[in-house]
Amino acid sequence: MKTRAAIAHAAGKPLEIVTVDLDGPKSGEVLVELKATGVCHTDEFTRSGGDPEGLFPAILGHEGAGIVVDVGPGVTSVKKGDHVIPLYTPECRQCKSCLSRKTNLCTAIRATQGKGVMPDGTSRFSLGKDKVFHYMGCSTFSNFTVLPEIAVAKIREDAPFDKVCYIGCGVTTGIGAVINTAKVEPGANVVVFGLGGIGLNVVQGARLAGANKIIGVDLNPNRKALGEKFGMTHFVNPKEVEGDLVAHLVTLTDGGADYSFECVGNVNLMRQALECCHRGWGVKKIAIDPLITHKMPLDKINDAFDLMHAGTSIRSVITY
């Protein structure tokens, strides 16, 4: 079949909207019509050339939501018409890593996903005679995509696609880090470095966990009001701090934070996040709508990256 997609032909180049060929689902695979997809910093990391695993040409995107339009032989967990979210960290439930129950990083799926292909070692996308690589097993910058059955999660049919697509990465990454990984307890003091899409969801997760002080650290003063919407109690702009930032945060948290979250990916910030912590201490509603700051069609996808670089968006969503 033919489908419109935004292709990354080479590192550092704008995405190009083209019509590509997409083979149908094979055994154990699902064909999904994407209705919406978020544009994440991880997509930009690969597009920019910073990703050591980046492959080109590729169809990026991993934060989507859509409808199952066809299934391959053997598929039993979903059917045509089901609404789903693609999963970029699926679990085969059979490899050593999955059976260990110590990690959600499936060794089997990573063996092919990191190479830009399906579990059988081939790509479903092509442009003319050239193979086009998949991305994070999802490729949601295409109107249609094929995924392994284990890489889709069924959702309610009344959930709006342009909102729930964000659950595929940003929401679950931030809130999951607080609730599932750190297991923040009520009354804890939390510091969050970086109030972007991930950081704001960490703030939201800390609020849901019942944290006491939730301190957001960001150079962008416009993030103060946003952070407060999600439960942030204190805002710190490093440019306005006299003296050492770590010492300031230690004082603000009465001896050091119980938990700190570095949501930027900066090595220096990671050190500060560690040093500001306390020595020796090693049905709720999730707000999504305020995090979706911009919506646009696929033709405008490069504008989403511009907004990201300008710091004026939290999450831009592409609708099909």
For helices 267-275 and 245-252, angle between their N-to-C axes, nearest 10 degrees: 40
The string of DSSP letters for 243-254 reads S-HHHHHHHHTT
Active site residue 42: yes
Of 106, 138, 165, 277, catalytic: 106
Of 4, 9, 41, 278, catalytic: 41
Identity (one letter) of the amino acid at 314? Answer: I
How many angstroms separate the CA atoms of 22 and 20, rounded? Answer: 6
Of 138, 165, 169, 276, catalytic: 169
Active site residue 110: yes
Identity (one letter) of the amino acid at 57? Answer: P
How many angstroms separate the CA atoms of 50 and 95, rounded? Answer: 30
Of 89, 95, 228, 293, catalytic: 95
**Cis amide linkage into residue 290, ω under 30° from 0:** no
48 CB-contact burial (10 Å; exposed 0-12 / middle 13-18 / buried 19+): middle
How many angstroms separate the CA atoms of 150 and 166, rounded? Answer: 19
Of 29, 46, 47, 63, catalytic: 63
The CA angle 140-166-297, to the nearest 5 degrees, is 55
Active site residue 62: yes
How many angstroms separate the CA atoms of 10 and 317, rounded? Answer: 23
Active site residue 138: no
How many angstroms separate the CA atoms of 2 and 22, rounded? Answer: 6
Of 4, 9, 110, 278, catalytic: 110
Active site residue 315: yes
Of 83, 98, 134, 263, catalytic: 98
Given a contact cutoff of 8 angstroms between Cβ atoms, the answer to whether 169 and 196 are in contact is: no
How many angstroms separate the CA atoms of 126 and 23, rounded? Answer: 9
Beta bridge partners of 236: 217
Active site residue 95: yes
Active site residue 106: yes
Identity (one letter) of the amino acid at 7? Answer: I
Active site residue 98: yes
Identity (one letter) of the amino acid at 182? Answer: A
Report which DSSP code applies to 221: T
Of 47, 83, 223, 315, catalytic: 315
Residues marked as catalytic: 40-42, 62-63, 92, 95, 98, 106, 110, 169, 315
